[in-house]
């Protein structure tokens, strides 16, 4: 299909007819029809009050959350310290029990060794006496 002149869009940049400029932002500040300036001010004040109240609630909740987390942290730290103290006490008790058991075993070994030494001395003394007797009887 051939394009006809009707379908072609031509732009004449040198045309004396110009499109209107976009409106300035001044029209945004002009009063709206049907709404008074006082109503707008009260709406704005109400909105700003609601916003401030919302921010206060949020900051209050945030402060409560921070305080709650600090309390939880303090409680957990206190609990951990108590558990550590309990473990230290239990460790000390176990060490005392082990020390007593060690002393008992050392005392038992000492007594056994002393008994062996005394027995060996008795045997050695008896052997010496028997030897002396045997030497005295031989001549």
- pLDDT surpassing 60 at residue 5: no
Mean pLDDT of 61-71: 89
Mean pLDDT of 28-35: 73
* 71-112 confidence digits (pLDDT tens): 999 999 999 999 999 999 999 999 999 999 999 999 999 999
**Mean pLDDT, rounded, of the chain:** 85
Distance of CA 18 to the CA centre of its chain: 69
pLDDT at 1: 44
Provide Rg for the chain, Cα atoms.
54
DSSP 62-75: HHHHHHHHHHHHHH
pTM over 0.85: no
Distance of CA 63 to the CA centre of its chain: 19
Q: What confidence category does residue 35 fall into, taking pLDDT thresholds of 50, 70 and 90? A: confident
Q: What confidence category does residue 4 fall into, taking pLDDT thresholds of 50, 70 and 90? A: low
pLDDT at 61: 87
* 112-128 confidence digits (pLDDT tens): 999 999 999 999 999 99
Tokens representing 65 are: 């959350």
Alpha-carbon dihedral 69, 74, 77, 83, rounded to 10 degrees? -120
Break the chain into its structural domains and give their ranges: 38-111
Q: What confidence category does residue 12 fall into, taking pLDDT thresholds of 50, 70 and 90? A: low
32 φ/ψ sector (left φ>0, alpha ψ -120 to 50, else beta): beta
**Are the CB atoms for 93 and 100 separated by under 8 Å?**
no
């Amino acid at each position: 299909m051939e394009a006809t002149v009707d379908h072609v869009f031509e732009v004449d940049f040198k045309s004396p007819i110009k499109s209107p400029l976009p409106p300035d932002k001044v029209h945004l500040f002009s009063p709206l029809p049907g709404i008074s300036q006082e109503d707008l001010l009260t709406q704005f004040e109400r909105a700003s009050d609601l916003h401030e109240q919302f921010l206060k609630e949020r900051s209050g909740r945030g402060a409560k959350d921070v305080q709650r987390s600090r309390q939880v942290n303090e409680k957990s730290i206190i609990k951990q310290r108590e558990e550590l103290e309990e473990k230290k006490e239990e460790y000390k008790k176990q060490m005392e029990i082990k020390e007593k058991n060690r002393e008992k075993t050392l005392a038992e070994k000492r007594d056994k060794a002393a008994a062996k030494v005394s027995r060996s001395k008795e045997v050695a003394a008896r052997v010496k006496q028997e030897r002396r007797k045997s030497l005295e009887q031989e001549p």
